[in-house]
Amino acid sequence: MGDFVLFILMLPHKSPTPLEVKVALLYDGLQIPPPILTQLQAGGHIWNWGRKGGAGPAGGRYFKLVTPSSSQPVIINISLQSQRSQHAPLLVQKIEGVNWTIACQTETYCTLELLPVPRFHQQYIDGRPAAQYVLLHATDCLATTVNQRCIYWRGGQACQFCGIELSLDAGHTVEVKDSKHILQVLELALAEVPVTHLTLTIGTQADESRGIREYIPIVQNLKSAYPDLRIHTQFEPPARAEFIHQLRAAGCDSVGIHVEILDDAKRNEYCPGKGHLGWKDYIRAWRTAVEVYGVNQVDSFILIGLEPLSEEFFARIREMCTAGVVPYPVPVREIPGTAFVVPEVNLDQLVSAHRHIAKLMKEAGIEPGITTAGCVRCSACSAIGEAIIELES
């Protein structure tokens, strides 16, 4: 499984599983043919392609998988504006209201329900749309980047797959968010959607906390106003363990310490800035965080497609699981506006990797379903939940 080969979509005569559908859509996105766009425009729709830029998966919209059916709701963030999606094997065949029929080689592949953009996004706070402060992710998660600047971007060492400062440069967000504005957006959101958790991210900062210090007063103020709100934060391994403890004392419920690429050499290639951190640095930070937050409350993105899916790769996944960390595999995808080109990967390898990771998680007692907040709970950008359901069925 070590070498990357041309992406090959499953033949449509094979009935796909929810896992296979989600992996295909996450990796390749959806092609929207010109007649479908014309239909949308003729209906007077103001089309929203999803956010541009940011530190995580961007350029997509949230959908609910209607068919094939699953024992639990399947929410997917699907790329609609990348170069890859414009040539994706899966394309929109028909739109009826919010229901999208997706085809492969003219045969129906799956059915999706487009989730609406919430109204509160366009309500104004201090002269700006609320969406410039905080966004709704999927159905019940709010998310914001509290500091949109990153030391690696300023130093010309940005991660190749990241677009954290693009949305700021385009005027689509605010450089630094404070708890006042986050609370105002939260109040608007709660009047419209059932928000249960909040994700806070940050560009890596130069201080030894790597940005944790900026989180602490925000978390404290949010918890003071909404004690039952579950809060998730993401950060690079800090210089000292005490910062992880301080964040927990402030009221944070779960954390993401994202290694993204397991192989040190590959991480240094794609992440020239944070590549200075080695595998041992992440293991040390994860173990501290698990001691503080508990098993299943610490996670890490794993970008599938940037390194060989070798025995060494899965050995490190096993080491993460043994440490109590939730691996969160995400098929790597293009961020519009960056020069990053997604490597060609075989779909069967992607699906197989998810199944293997799910097996390792099951053996170690890792249960992402009980993570209280954050990307793992949201689950729209990974198919690991579907892999676990498939394994258990």
179-232, pLDDT tens digit by residue?
999 999 999 999 999 999 999 999 999 999 999 999 999 999 999 999 999 999
> Residue 170: what pLDDT?
83
The residue with tokens 């966004």 is 135
pLDDT of the residue at 168: 87
Residue type, 10: M
Superfamily of domain covering 119-392? Aldolase class I (3.20.20.70)
State residue 85's pLDDT score. 85
Centre a 10 Å sphere on the Cβ of residue 115 and count the other Cβ atoms it contains.
Answer: 18
- d(Cα 352, Cα 360) in Å, to the nearest integer? 12
Please give the average pLDDT of every successive group of 10 residues along the chain, which has 393 residues.
38 76 95 86 60 57 93 92 86 92 93 94 97 96 96 93 88 95 98 98 97 98 98 98 98 98 96 94 98 98 96 98 98 84 92 98 97 97 97 94
* 7 within 8 A of 343, measured Cβ to Cβ: no
- What is the arrangement of strands in the sheet containing 99-104, beginning at the earlier edge strand? 75-79, 60-67, 107-114, 99-104, 90-96
pTM: 0.93
Could you tell me if 307 and 263 are in contact, meaning their C-beta atoms sit under 8 angstroms apart? yes
252 Ramachandran zone, left/alpha/beta (phi>0; psi -120 to 50) = beta
Sequence spans of domains, the chain: 18-114, 119-392
Query: Position of tokens 């519009």?
Result: 336
User: Which pLDDT score, from 0 to 100, does residue 339 have?
Assistant: 84
Task: Determine the residue type at 315.
Answer: A
Q: Which residues contact 179 (CB under 8 A, 6 or more apart)?
A: 217, 218, 221, 222
pLDDT value for 10: 44
29 contacts: CB under 8 Å, gap ≥ 6? 60, 78, 79, 80, 82, 84, 85, 88, 90, 333
